[in-house]
């Protein structure tokens, strides 16, 4: 009878050990997964920010070229008399362009502020992860 009891206890402990081992491995892998998922999330967001930055840089070059063109035309108009319908049409177009340019500048500044906020959050996340995150 003592041997049967011992075998049952031994078998029960073996089963509990296996269950504990499986649970430990599962918990370890689940706790590691969010870090990896978050890392991928941050990497994807970084790629999106970089893509937007390239687009905005191209737009900025275009706007700067247009600004120079308008300034050169303004100098030409300044040296001539500012009378007549041609000047009024040009001035109206110039004011429309200035308005669009200011709107774009506002959009760009908002983007920069949002990007700085994102970078701050990214740095906080990276610091909180410590040595768990490699390669970022």
The tens digit of pLDDT for each residue in 96-123 reads 999 999 999 999 999 999 999 999 998 8
How many Å apart are CA 44 and CA 29, to the nearest integer? Answer: 22
Q: For residue 122, what are the domain limits?
A: 86-126
pLDDT of residue 132: 55
Q: For residue 83, give both structure tokens.
A: 């009378």
pLDDT of residue 48: 92
Q: Is residue 96 part of a domain?
A: yes
Report the C-alpha dihedral over residues 99, 104, 109, 110, rounded to 10 degrees: 110
Q: Is residue 98 part of a domain?
A: yes
Q: Which residues of 88-97 are buried (b: 16+ CB within 10 A; e: fewer)?
A: eebeeeeeee
pLDDT of residue 32: 58
pLDDT of residue 117: 92
Judge contact between 39 and 122, C-beta under 8 A. Answer: no
pLDDT of residue 85: 83
Q: For residue 113, give both structure tokens.
A: 């502020």
Minimal CA–CA distance to 45: which of 102, 131, 126, 101? 126
pLDDT of residue 100: 92
Q: Is residue 105 part of a domain?
A: yes
How many Å apart are CA 67 and CA 120, to the nearest integer? Answer: 33
Per-residue pLDDT of the chain (136 residues; tens, 9 = 90+): 667 777 788 888 788 788 777 777 776 665 655 666 778 888 899 999 999 999 999 999 999 999 999 999 888 887 776 677 888 888 899 999 999 999 999 999 999 999 999 999 988 888 887 655 455 4
pLDDT of residue 109: 93
Q: Is residue 55 part of a domain?
A: no
Per the structure, the count of domains in the chain is 1
Q: Is residue 119 part of a domain?
A: yes
Minimal CA–CA distance to 90: which of 108, 65, 72, 107? 72
């Amino acid at each position: 009878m003592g041997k049967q009891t011992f075998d049952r206890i031994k078998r029960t402990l073996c089963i509990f050990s296996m269950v504990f081992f499986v649970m430990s491995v599962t918990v370890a892998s689940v706790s590691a997964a969010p870090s990896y998922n978050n890392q991928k999330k941050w990497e994807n967001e970084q790629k999106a920010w970089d893509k937007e930055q390239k687009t905005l840089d191209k737009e900025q070059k275009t706007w700067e070229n247009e600004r120079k063109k308008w300034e050169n035309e303004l100098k030409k108009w300044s040296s001539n008399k500012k009378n007549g319908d041609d000047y009024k049409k040009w001035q109206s177009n110039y004011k429309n362009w200035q308005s669009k340019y200011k709107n774009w500048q506002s959009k760009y500044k908002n983007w920069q502020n949002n990007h700085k906020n994102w970078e701050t959050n990214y740095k906080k996340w990276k610091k909180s992860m410590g040595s768990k995150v490699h390669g970022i």
